[in-house]
Amino acid sequence: MDLQELRPGLWRWASTHPDWVPSDGLTRDVASVYYAARDALVLIDPLVPAEEEERFWAALDRDVDRLGLPVVVLLTVPWHERSAHRIVERYGGTVADEPPAGLGAIRIAGVGGEPETLYWIPEHGALVAGDILVGTPPRIVDAWQPEARRGEPVRAELRHLLDLPVELLLPAHGDAVLEDAHAVLAEALR
């Protein structure tokens, strides 16, 4: 498991997905995000790392006890369910359709035209993406889009993201962008 503290209360971990077969130059590692919001402990696209499951649960148990906040799981796309239900069962939280206070939900037509939600964490200038922006550096995989949305149409639909003061770009597939994230996002949308 690759664990990074990005900012106080904002963490990202990547671990190997046992069932995902990568394509387009991606690896089997997928990323999840932990955010201690004002009113909830938020986990986005969580995958309990099989290789360090005991350590993961011990750390999350400590945080849930220490913070005393409800646990909320958010999914960028439905197929990123991963360990969501295990976490909800353990902590009595929810897999929510709406984010708690302190987060924004940006709904788009994602991969294959299926709905995707990007999560905006304004406190940290962090944009969390599921499958619409992937890789290192993040890019749009046109082959994953319906033919009518490939190229300029999908990029035009996403350009409003450039209105956000993005400091961190956190894709589910690929490395986190911790420097010049707004410029990297602009390049992906060219």
Domain boundaries, the chain: 2-188
Which CATH code, of 3.40.630.20, 3.40.190.10, 3.60.15.10, 3.30.1540.20, is assigned to 2-188?
3.60.15.10
27 SS3 class: coil
pLDDT in tens, 104-125: 999 998 887 789 999 999 999 9
pLDDT in tens, 4-53: 999 999 999 999 988 878 788 888 899 999 999 999 999 999 999 998 99
More confident residue, 111 or 129: 129
Mean pLDDT of 85-97: 95
What is the pTM assigned to this prediction? 0.95
Q: What is the greatest pairwise CA distance in the chain? A: 49
> Which one, of 161, 171, 184, 95, lies nearest residue 130 by Cα?
171
pLDDT for the residue 23: 80
Go through 169-189 and write b for each residue having 16 or more CB atoms within 10 A of its CB, e for each that does not: bbbbbbbbbbeebbebbeebb
Q: Are 166 and 127 in contact (CB under 8 A)?
A: yes
Mean pLDDT of 70-84: 96
- Whether 161 shows a pLDDT value over 80: the answer reads yes
Query: Which DSSP symbol is given to 26?
Result: -
